[in-house]
Structure 1
């Protein structure tokens, strides 16, 4: 029987690992636990519908006195808005994406909590951070898929590679920077590419969910990460991406209590982590394992920790003082376990 992680509370570890020196003059970073606790209970459901995302973002923006700014990057195929939330005014830009696959929801509530934690409190550290970075989050990239609990967007005319004919397209195969944006058949991917070209973020992080996997040591993987693997991405972008991966591995294992492995992803250039690496961003994929429902909050807190640690590391520069070669020591993901639906049915039997 595999060892499954329990519903733990994030500890009081600081956002900067002990080995990474803080920026001169930077205020002391709060603990992840205190930042997580700043967001009120019930801010957003674990698996939110688009209207629940909109209500939660509105609540965050109002509570922030304008420090969290709301907009859209475009519309879905069914004309639902693709929400954009931004915090900070600094010169280092970051872009986070959540729920490109509609049935992979937990990055979305993590993003809403992170926006609250970064934008609502107004301590010296918060003001310092917001003066150094601008974070954009496209919160729930695939609202049409979310309402149907499906991987694909909704497009009955969909056909060809990376689609489910009559259902829709896999958005995360259409970020190909080698294809003219106007020729991409997926409006959600076009909108994100246009946002990238408008802002040129230094870092792009894409939050997904995966199945369940067992490691050789008997523990279950709770998250997997990967940087660009396409040969078309430049060496500098891949190096920076690997540094972001190492930072995430360190913080997620030591602070969030996650069991992090290397995701076995492909090299197709239309996958977001590859496409934005080709464009020159440090690019990272974060995959949360689809654990049983009682562990959803643990997984949301894992994504929250990744979001906060990455933006803080960009603000104080500690991201770029990590050893990118350490990315090769992140353990490979183990073999798959029965899918969550099967396990839940077995538990109920």
Structure 2
């Protein structure tokens, strides 16, 4: 039986150059304004787990090329989904991973828009030359605030209930060696192991007040930084970053810096590159849906451009892999790309 599709109402649009982005209102995660009356993304466009599942099933029914796979269950027993577009196993494959951290939510919303676009004429023909895998939300329990520990230490308002951690209070992006959590185990056992993945972008969020050269960044990127990563894998990771940088920077409203990340292989960007030979890129979008520090939480006005930034990232990397232009991308920009820093005054 087909799942009932939940209709989203469109309440407005954010204009980015000539692009209008509709803002669907779901009220799935919270109600009412918070943080001194400032409406935040927690009570606006975010899909609940059931709404996300309903959306995926609807798209699978509509899209001939799309296949939906359950790769495992979360601590709380929620299904973990993999969206697959595999026309030719010999084609290069990219994996997009979102929401390892439950309070980093807008990239998931962008991934859902991208999935919808893959069933339209806008991306027509692209899938004959590239395989696309998407995990639209890994930390499904943290995204719903359904956890086995008090949330008070991790949220800034009683109206919020998203957490960075999974239901066992574990950071999934520090569990890529031991894989003790069911979510990371499912990712490795049922995606990274069985599928021949060439590229991966791990989509996250960071604080709202990071800057480069005095300008607030819309995000930051980083390739594998462990010494154990293969040189060719790192080069291809840097080329993946070049595609993203060129796509966002050229829009005029996106400002990208270099992320100050560590070298631990418990982190997906590093560990997956070493273990599987996958070229990986971390993309940290601006701001979070929930955090114990108010300054980390995004306001409503940031929704549209961050979702659009995610969609552009997914679109342009798929195009570059499909036409093989990624293989000739110049990586020298990394040598002069400044690290982002934390703005001390607002």
TM-score by length of 1: 0.77
Q: Which residue of 2 is the match for residue 346 of structure 1?
A: none
Over residues 62-116 of structure 1, what are the superposed CA-to-partner deviations in whole Å (9 max), with x where a residue is unaligned? 332x322111111111110111111241321111111000000011111111111
Q: Which residue of 2 is the match for residue 81 of structure 1?
A: 79
Q: Which residue of 2 is the match for residue 174 of structure 1?
A: 175
Q: Which residue of 2 is the match for residue 110 of structure 1?
A: 110
User: Matched residue pairs, number?
Assistant: 287
Per the TM alignment, residue 214 of structure 1 is displaced from its structure 2 partner at its CA by 4.4
Over 4 Å off, 4+ runs: none
**Is the Cα contact below 8 Å between 1:102 and 1:143 reproduced in 2?**
yes
SS of 1:136's equivalent? strand
**Is the Cα contact below 8 Å between 1:256 and 1:305 reproduced in 2?**
no
SS of 1:198's equivalent? coil
Moved more, 302-311 or 210-219: 210-219
**Is the Cα contact below 8 Å between 2:211 and 2:343 reproduced in 1?**
no
Q: Which residue of 2 is the match for residue 191 of structure 1?
A: 186
Q: Where is the strand percentage greater, Structure 1 or Structure 2?
A: 2
List aligned pairs for 1:1-349, cutoff 5 A.
8-9=15-16, 42=24, 46-64=45-63, 66-90=64-88, 91-118=91-118, 120-122=119-121, 126-127=124-125, 129-148=126-145, 149-155=162-168, 168-176=169-177, 179=178, 184-194=179-189, 195-215=191-211, 217-255=213-251, 257-278=253-274, 279-290=276-287, 291-336=298-343
Structure 1: which 5+ residue stretches go unaligned? 1-5, 12-32, 156-167, 344-349
SS of 1:185's equivalent? coil
**Is the Cα contact below 8 Å between 1:92 and 1:133 reproduced in 2?**
yes
SS of 2:332's equivalent? helix
CA distance in 2, matches of 1:121, 1:211: 34
Per the TM alignment, residue 132 of structure 1 is displaced from its structure 2 partner at its CA by 1.1
**Change in CA separation of 1:192 and 1:256 when aligned onto 2, cut-off 3 Å:** farther
CA distance in 2, matches of 1:189, 1:282: 18
Over residues 297-336 of structure 1, what are the superposed CA-to-partner deviations in whole Å (9 max), with x where a residue is unaligned? 1101101111111111110111111112322222210224
**Change in CA separation of 1:53 and 1:334 when aligned onto 2, cut-off 3 Å:** same
CA distance in 2, matches of 1:95, 1:197: 13
**Is the Cα contact below 8 Å between 1:240 and 1:324 reproduced in 2?**
no
SS of 2:341's equivalent? coil
**Change in CA separation of 1:262 and 1:216 when aligned onto 2, cut-off 3 Å:** closer
